[in-house]
Amino acid sequence: MSLIPVPIQLHQKGPQTLGISWSDGVESEYAVRDLRLNCRCAHCVDEWTAEKRLDPATVPMDVRPKKIEPVGRYAIRFVWSDGHDTGIYTFDLLRKLANPN
Partner 1 sequence: MEVFFRSKNNVTESGILKVLSQVMDPDLGKDIVTLGFIKNLKIEESKVTFSVELTTPACPVKEDLKKQCEDLVRGLEGVESVEVTMTAQVRQAYVAPSKLALPGVKNVIAIASGKGGVGKSTVTANLAVALAKAGAKVGLMDADIYGPSIPLMFGITDKPMMEGDTVIPVEKHGVRIISMGFFIPEDQPVVWRGPMVHGALTQFLTQVKWGDLDYLLIDMPPGTGDAQLTISQNAPLSGAVIVTTPQQVSLIDARKGLKMFQSVQVPVLGVVENMSGFVFGRGGGQKLAEESGVPFLGSIPIDPRVVESGDSGTPVVESFSSSESGNAFRTLASRVAAELSIAHARYHTPVAKDLSMEWQS
Residues that bind partner 1 (CB under 8 A): 1-10, 12, 15, 23-24, 64-76, 81, 90-92
Nearer to partner 1, 24 or 46 (CB): 24
Q: Least separation, in Å, of the C-beta of 68 and partner 1?
A: 5
Q: How far apart are CA 19 and CA 50, in angstroms?
A: 28
Burial of 36 per CB tally in 10 Å (0-12, 13-18, 19+): buried
In 3D space, the residue among 15, 45, 44, 43 whose CA is nearest the CA of residue 31 turns out to be 15
Q: Least separation, in Å, of the C-beta of 70 and partner 1?
A: 4
Q: Least separation, in Å, of the C-beta of 41 and partner 1?
A: 14
Nearer to partner 1, 37 or 75 (CB): 75
Nearer to partner 1, 55 or 67 (CB): 67
In 3D space, the residue among 73, 2, 82, 70 whose CA is nearest the CA of residue 36 turns out to be 82
